[in-house]
Each structure stands twice: as structure tokens, then as C-alpha cells.
Amino acid sequence: MASEERRVEELLQKWEEEVRAAREIRRREADWDFIRRQPPRLRAALELYVETGDLHLAARIAGMTVDEFNELRLKAKIPVVL
Amino acid sequence: MEVAVIDTCFLINWARFSGRGKLKLLFSRLFMPELTFSEVRSETALMVASKWLSERFLVLAPTLPTDEDEVEEILRFVASHPQLPAIDPPELYAFVLARRLGVPFLTDNKAPKRVSQLSTQYSSVLVLDSLDVLKMIADRGEELGTLVESFMKETGFRFSRARLREVGLLGL
């Protein structure tokens, strides 16, 4: 039981570090001029994507399907970080 | 390994990748829940999906009423673990389909992989992301570095140093 708890704790810690590193990469590589030129709703969705990497949520904010939002993400040069 | 389930993100990412044909080195058929397919809208992804559907390389699978209970169970699991990324219904149905068929689930969403790592109940589902798949293709005689570089360039992906180390592209 203790080893299972330790495994979970280690996983959660590893994921937290991954989330932080991925956010930094998205912030660094995003085309902020492009993002700032977008209408408020799309700008908010792109900023949310930079912060969270959540394509579904960002697409919902933008009022698009994930596929459509992915096209916008590419134009904004925001990478998917794995 | 011949059959796998894919979700929308995997399809739209691989539709942009010039090496997408290499998926056929690994799989003879890809399943996708109909519900998930309805999210595909871009011309690039629809053109690829249309070709794959006509070849029966891609097959749409119906969602069964029995999937609903399992979807609810997973949603409850995710809700009780706030550290897990959100998981949306379309990818959930793909996850449940992969579990039902006992085949790998190909997705670039982090949530399904983490659910399978965290929950012993779902650990039987093998969840593979694009880097895992590129590595498997490379194991069939392709050069991994070249594949990864092309994939990142064409799809706007970045793989973390930790992941690149995992697949042997960076020194330990």
C-alpha cells in the first residue's frame, strides 16, 4: 500500500514538472503579435491554450471544433508539447 | 499489433504529417468512434480521413449504450483526481472503445495516458502518443531522428527533453 502511494506521489510530481515545462515552451514559442491581433474571444482561447495546453477547452472558448482550433494554434505558432 | 483506436487529435496531427503512410507499417486498421469523428472539420484532416475510410484503413465505430456507464465511471475517477488533465467526451468514447476491443489507443491528449497510469482499473489500456508511435515505426527500420524532426516541423509539436531521452534521442 505504501509503495502504491509512493508510486502515485512520484507520478503526480513528475506530471507537475512536465506541465510547468510544457507551459514555458508554449509561452516562449507563441507568436504573441499574432495572438494580440485576434478578436477578444479568439485571443482568450489562444491564451488559455498557452497556459493549459487543453485543446478541447480552448476550442470551446473559441467556439470552434478542436480541428478548427488546431489550425488557429498553428497560425499562432503555439506548439503541442508532449 | 494490427488494430488500434484513434481520436480526433491524433487524426488531425497525423493528417498534416507527410509520413502518415508509415502508420500502415504498424496497423492494418484504425477505429474511431463516430461521435469523435464529428469533430473533424479541416480540409486537411477530412481529405486524409476520406482516403483512409475508402481504403477501410479507418473504420468508424458506433457508440454503444453500455459505453455510457464506463464513460461516467472514468469521469468520476478524473473528477476525484484534480491533478489529472480534463478529459472530454469524444476522447473518452475512444478510450472506452479501445478498452472494449482490447487494442491500443493512439492519442496526443495527456489525460487518457495518465488515467491508464494512475488507475489499476484502466491500466490494461495501452495508450500511445505520437512519439511512441514514431518510435515503433523507427523500430521497423526507419531513422527516428529524421522522423521526429519532420513530425515536429510539419505538425507544430515539441517533445520534451525527458520524452526524447526516453526514446534514446538524447543522452542519459
Q: Give the 3-state secondary structure of residue A7.
A: helix
How far is Cα B98 from Cα B57, in angstroms, rounded to an integer? 16
By CA distance, what is A66's nearest residue in B?
A: B39
If residue B71 lies in a helix (H) or strand (E), which one and from where to where? helix B67-79
For the whole model, what pTM was predicted? 0.92
Burial class of B63 by CB neighbour count within 10 A (0 to 12, 13 to 18, 19+): middle
Residue of A nearest to B10 (CA): A67
Considering the domain boundaries, does residue A37 fall inside one?
Answer: yes
Which chain B residues touch A53 with a CB distance below 8 Å? 85, 110
**pLDDT tens track for B148-171:** 999 999 999 999 988 999 999 986
Measured between beta carbons, the chain A residues lying within 8 angstroms of B45 are: 67
Q: What are phi and psi of B60, to 5 degrees?
A: -85, 135
Q: What Cα–Cα distance (Å) separates residue A11 from each residue in A17, B95, B126?
A: 10, 21, 17
Tell me whether A18 touches chain B (CB under 8 Å). Answer: yes
pLDDT tens digit sequence for B61-114: 998 888 888 889 999 988 888 888 888 888 899 999 999 999 999 999 999 999
Residue B18 amino acid letter: S
Q: Is the residue at A48 inside a domain? A: yes
Residue A51 lies in a domain: yes
Residue the block writes with cell 463516430: B34
Q: Where are the beta strands (DSSP E) in A1-82?
A: 80-81
Q: To which residue does cell 497560425 refer?
A: A75
pLDDT single digits (tens) B107-132 = 999 999 999 998 888 999 999 999 99
B-chain CB neighbours of A16 within 8 Å are 83
Is B3-142 in CATH node 3.90.1170.50? no
Q: Please check whether residue A52 lies inside any domain of the structure.
A: yes
CB contact under 8 A, B108 and A80: yes
Number of domains chain A contains: 1
* A16 found inside a domain: yes
Is B156's Cβ below 8 Å from some Cβ in A? Answer: yes
Whether B108 contacts chain A with CB within 8 A: yes
**Which chain B positions have a beta carbon within 8 Å of A29's beta carbon?**
158
Whole-angstrom distance, CA of residue B107 vs CA of residue B122: 15
Per the structure, the complete domain to which residue A14 belongs is given by 2-75
Integer-rounded Cα radius of gyration of chain A: 15
